Structure 1
Amino acid sequence: MNIGSDLVSVKPQKIVDNRTFPYMSVWIVVLTWNNYADTFECLRSLRALTYPNYHVVVVDNASNDGTPVRVRSDFPEVHLIENAGNLGVPAGYNVGFRYALEHGADGVVMLNNDTAVSPDLLHHLVHAAQHPQAGILVPTAFYFNAPTKIWSAGGRYRWFPPAIIMEKRRQRPGDPLRVLEYAIGSCILITRRAFEQAGLLDETYFFMWEDLDLSVRIRKAGLLILGVPQAALWHKVSQSTQPESPLFWRMHGRSGAIYYRRHSAVPYLAMVLHLGYFALREFLAKRQRHFIPPFLKGIGEGLIQPLKEFPQIQGRRGREDQRAL
């Protein structure tokens, strides 16, 4: 794949209106589990979007703080889906993805509830989505409490020390789109073709690493993950999954083990190198040894967790054929 030549045709242009490209149908899926104050700010920012053809779906993972009732009251225009229990991040999002795709979405935004988006976010993401190989479009995420400091602009694999690290390189608004290795799931636009060719999120994970897993499958399908520097949002970072909790590190270890079982030719060596370095950096160098037991417990769980099949969706043609029968 000649990435360099692909990028020439997608050099961003200043967007005044959308008359130069189609108003693709975009559905935004926000997953919630408590923390309604964050959800309120997120949904309020979505109300200010200037793109004309979008819908918002909130999928609630059995919140116990009254989130569903308050969403219905404060945001009656939002479609609310209530799960009977906490399905986890991938399965929870997949509920919303399926709903959006069944209702004709051309693209679906996976959005964390602890974010606030720029009013022109969708204009820029949809513009970039016109690239014929676009699979995932990734905006630049800034820290909510430091609004000019980049939190993430996608991710890449670093061979030594081994790690998947977030890109923080600042780009100018007129720069070409960047081809990325990984999409960070705080806010990404996933095209319909990406779902049809690579499937939905892997429900083997409960939370963490599911966005990295999807990124690998998108690239294996021959599609691109494109960083869109013009598109911006602000992220509060780990409001629901507190990084100072044993559960966070247990899930980190569990998901990392699942990821390398899925995608590495030498999974056990990859786990030793990557997760071993990670443990040295996070637990020993930072003197957080008390998190080593839950991290190791999670790795053990990930090593024996049965791997589920990737959830698939039916393409438009398949649905049309079924209706014709």
Structure 2
Amino acid sequence: MSPTILALVVTHNRKNLLKECLNCLLGQNHPVDRILVIDNASTDGTQGMVAQQFPQVEYVRLSENLGAAGGFHHGLAIARELDYDWIWLLDDDAHPKPDSLQKLVNGLERALCLGKTPDLLLSHLVWLDGRTHPMGIPWPDLRRPLLLLRAWKHRLVPIRFGTYASMLVSQVAARKYPLPTKEYFLWNDDLEYSGRILRRGLGFLVKDSLVVHKTRNPFSSAISSTDEQFYLEARNRAWLVRSDAFGPLGKAFWVLNSLGVFLARLRVRGWRGIHIIAKGWLEGFRNPPPANH
């Protein structure tokens, strides 16, 4: 029996990207059973566009911009109370190919043939020019070397974390684990949420499920962001390091990864950028976000 799937899209002031995303969802070879849009208080006419052009889409407008983290927190709180087998999480700039969802469902079937029931599946993200998107490369699950070898033959890769750009989460996992930590607001909340599920659960990258992630550039937008925004990047990375979503190996990875991001930021901003990095990093260790229950 084919699994039932709810697509959840979070948006803010990008109605043209959202329009393209919704058209992609409605054009899937494997139909989406329901589409839910969480709008972070957009002021660009998003509400009217959805009402006029996509009356079949369920639309929820938040009273204020809670960021991507708050949007997915709110959306998953709704979705996990509904009767669907899987929840397909997407950014508004993540545009699936017509067969993306079908490939994810096929990947689920291949995982079950391996004798494994996944909690989470990811699509392979590509940029506008078709190359693999550097921001969307998930970390392989090195704790399972034998499964890595077996899964490769089935065009699957066991993974340790992933992004919201195209993340299929089982309803069982959505109900079992806490909601995304809304205090992250922007950046890295998806890594923490998926990492928390996959610390004890199981997830796969489905290599032949392609989704175009239409970011402005193929690298982290945080590098060239404002100081106010990069403060969140630095703080949230400290939260990642101290999160129980990752063990010692994962924490070491995020420390080294963060060092690389901070050095890239300093190349752009010069040494005057060190203040924001230090402020966010130290704040993240001093004051962790509230626990989700």
- The answer, yes or no, to whether TM exceeds 0.5 is yes
Instruction: Tell me if structure 1 keeps the 8 A contact 2:158–2:204.
Output: yes
Give the Cα separation in 1 of the matches to 2:272 and 2:40: 29
User: Does residue 308 of the first structure (1) align with residue 290 of the second (2)?
Assistant: yes
Identify the residue that residue 3 of structure 1 maps to in structure 2.
Answer: none
The answer for the alignment partner of 1:283 in structure 2 is 266
1:124 paired to 2:124: no
Say which of 184, 187, 203 aligns to 1:225: 203
Match of 2:58 in 1: 79
Q: Is this contact kept in 2: 1:249–1:291, CA < 8 A?
A: no
- Pairing 1:191-270 to 2, within 5 Å after superposition: 191-221=170-200, 223-237=201-215, 243-246=223-226, 247-263=228-244
**Does the aligned pair in 2 maintain the 1:23–1:52 contact within 8 Å?**
no
Gaps of 5+ in 1: 1-21, 159-172, 312-325
Question: 1 CA distance for matches of 2:282 and 2:140?
Answer: 24
Matches within 5 A, 1:132-211: 132-144=116-128, 146=129, 148-152=130-134, 154-156=137-139, 175-211=154-190
2: CA distance between counterparts of 1:255 and 1:102? 28
In structure 2, what is the equivalent of residue 319 of structure 1? none
Q: 1:154 touches 1:227 (CA, 8 Å); kept in 2?
A: no
Could you give the per-residue CA deviations for residues 232-260 of structure 1, whole angstroms, max 9, x where no partner exists? 11011269x66422233211101101111
Pick aligned residue for 2:5 from 17, 21, 26: 26
Distance 1:282 1:306, change over 3 A: closer
Q: Report the alpha carbon displacement of residue 282 of structure 1 after superposing the two structures with TM.
A: 3.5
Count of residues in Structure 1 that have an aligned counterpart in Structure 2: 273
Partners of 2:161 and 2:198 within 8 A in 1: no
Query: 1:85 offset after TM fit, Å?
Result: 0.7
The worse-fitting range, judged by mean Cα deviation, of 72-81 and 297-306 is: 297-306
Find the aligned partners of 1:227 and 1:40 in 2 and give their Cα distance. Answer: 26
Letter in 2 for 1:310: N
Conserved 8 A contact 2:237-2:284: yes
Q: Deviations over 1:284-315 (max 9, x none)?
A: 3x56444433333222332233432224xxxx
| Alignment deviations for residues 174-225 of structure 1 (CA, whole Å, 9 cap, x no partner) | 853111122122111011122133232122311211121123212223x212
Q: 1:268 to 1:49 in 2, by over 3 A?
A: closer
1:61 paired to 2:45: no
Change in 2 beyond 3 A, CA 1:269/1:249: same
For residues 110 and 265 of structure 1, the distance between their equivalents in structure 2, rounded to whole angstroms, comes to 25
In structure 1, how many angstroms separate the alpha carbons of the residues matched to 2:251 and 2:131? Answer: 36
Contact 2:76-2:174 within 8 A present in 1 as well: no
Deviation at residue 138 of structure 1 after TM alignment: 0.8
Higher helix share: 2
Q: Which runs of 5+ in 2 are unaligned?
A: 142-151
8 Å contact 1:24–1:53 — kept in the other structure?
A: no
Aligned-partner Cα distance in 1 for 2:231–2:178: 26
User: Which residue number in structure 1 is paired with residue 277 of structure 2?
Assistant: 295
Provide the C-alpha distance between the structure 2 equivalents of 1:260 and 1:137, rounded to a whole number of angstroms. 23
Greater gyration radius: 1
Structure 1 counterpart of 2:78, from 83, 99, 102 = 99
More strand by proportion, 1 or 2?
1
Task: Measure, in 1, the Cα distance between the counterparts of 2:251 and 2:20.
Answer: 42
Counterpart of 1:304 in structure 2: which amino acid?
R
CA shift, 1:102, in A, is 1.8
Question: 1:276: how far off?
Answer: 3.3
**Contact 1:41 1:115 (C-alpha < 8 Å) held by counterparts:** no
CA distance in 1 between counterparts of 2:157 and 2:140 reads 15
Q: Mean alpha-carbon deviation: is it higher for 90-99 or for 268-277?
A: 268-277
One-letter identity of the residue aligned with 1:101? R
Deviation per residue, 1:114-164 (Å, 9 max, x gap): 1211111111212323434301111111112x0x21105642289xxxxxx
Q: What is the distance in 1 between the residues matched to 2:137 and 2:26?
A: 25
Alignment of 1:25-44 (within 5 A): 25-44=4-23
